Amino acid sequence: MPLYTYVISFKGSTHVAQSSHSNFRGFINWVESISNLSPALKQELAHKAYSGDFSAIENKKHVWKKSIEVGGSELIVHAIQTQP
């Protein structure tokens, strides 16, 4: 299974997580890497993280981006296939 690196930006902080899965969309382990989320915001994010879709980053291979509104602020997650 490929290794994916997730780079998450939220409220001026950047967080990084890695995990191996069959695809980068169906798993939200990266939520746990965000240290400045209250339990209520983590729960909100967990519900929203599966909706919507990632968009491919133009002119890049194996890099995708998703934006999610959490607690009235934008959270951006980039998924990068780090290893095949």
| pTM > 0.95 | no
Summarize pLDDT for 2-55 with one digit per residue, the tens. 999 999 999 999 999 998 988 877 667 788 888 888 889 988 998 888 888 899
Q: Which of 57, 54, 56, 67 is nearest to 27 (CA)?
A: 54
- Give the whole-angstrom CA distance, residue 41 versus residue 27: 18
pLDDT of 61 above 90: yes
Q: Which of 66, 73, 84 is nearest to 7 (CA)?
A: 66
Residue 7, number of CB atoms within 10 A of its CB: 17
Q: Could you tell me the sign of the dihedral formed by the alpha carbons of 37, 43, 44, 48, in that order?
A: positive
